[in-house]
Structure 1
Amino acid sequence: MSLFNRDERKARTERIRDDIHDIGEQGEALGRDLRDDAEDAIESARLKSEEQYARMAAEARRRNRQARSSASRSMTECDRYVREKSWSAIGAATLAGAVVGLLLGRR
């Protein structure tokens, strides 16, 4: 075994060691980049979900106000109708009660 072969092997070993070290550093850098990208993506998703939640909550409040307003108008109209046509309302309530009574009596 000659000195030349030993030096050549030592040089190859050092190059391999340096390459492995470089690969490790590149892997660490890639890991940091992936982590940063993931954090950015998570933050973006969080902001989008908060915006969507705010829009949905506002829409739910708007629809709730509409439903309450509609129910209030309906109750007002119903009350007005019953006051104006009390005998018709009494007749309709009696008829509805009779139908319900008949249906329950058939059981």
Structure 2
Amino acid sequence: MAKKPSDRHEQTEQLQQDLRHLSDTVEELVNATAQDASSEMKDLRQRAEQRLKDTRARVEARGERLYAGTRDSLSQQADCCDRYVRDNPWTSLGIGAAAGVVVGLLLGRR
């Protein structure tokens, strides 16, 4: 189970690198063709710039939504855990003590 978040993180990093590379390439292309005065090239350059801006905006919006959703989910889980501990203090104390014993045994084996 520990490898799934790592794999997702690596995939996310790779996607971010690919998007940055694509963005840089399009910007280089737009800058390289800036001297070309033909109307067709100007039109292509404007469309490429607009698509790049739109794509960046969508990726940023998606990232913000993902961040907000994750933050809200974690907040709800923390609230649920807090309610459980407040409603069942002795059970929570027992669970904490058992977890401490297990961690102590595992550390003691080293």
TM range (shorter): 0.5 to 0.7
Q: 1: CA distance between counterparts of 2:71 and 2:55? A: 24
Which segments of 5 or more consecutive residues in structure 1 lack a partner in the other structure? 1-31
- Using the TM superposition, give the Cα deviation of residue 40 of structure 1 relative to its aligned residue in structure 2, in angstroms: 3.5
Q: Which has the higher contact order (CA 8 A, sep 6+)?
A: 2
TM-score by length of 1: 0.61
Name whichever structure is richer in helix by fraction: 1
TM-score by length of 2: 0.59
RMSD between aligned residues: 2.2
- Using the TM superposition, give the Cα deviation of residue 102 of structure 1 relative to its aligned residue in structure 2, in angstroms: 0.9
Aligned mate of 1:49, from 52, 60, 82: 52
Q: How many residues align?
A: 76
1:66 aligns with 2:69: yes
Q: Deviations over 1:61-83 (max 9, x none)?
A: 11211111111111111000000
Alignment of 1:24-103 (within 5 A): 37-103=40-106
Is the radius of gyration larger for structure 1 or structure 2?
1
- Using the TM superposition, give the Cα deviation of residue 38 of structure 1 relative to its aligned residue in structure 2, in angstroms: 4.2
- Using the TM superposition, give the Cα deviation of residue 36 of structure 1 relative to its aligned residue in structure 2, in angstroms: 5.1
Q: Deviations over 1:14-49 (max 9, x none)?
A: xxxxxxxxxxxxxxxxxx978654443333222111
54-63 or 76-85: which moved more?
54-63
- Using the TM superposition, give the Cα deviation of residue 97 of structure 1 relative to its aligned residue in structure 2, in angstroms: 0.9
Which segments of 5 or more consecutive residues in structure 2 lack a partner in the other structure? 1-34
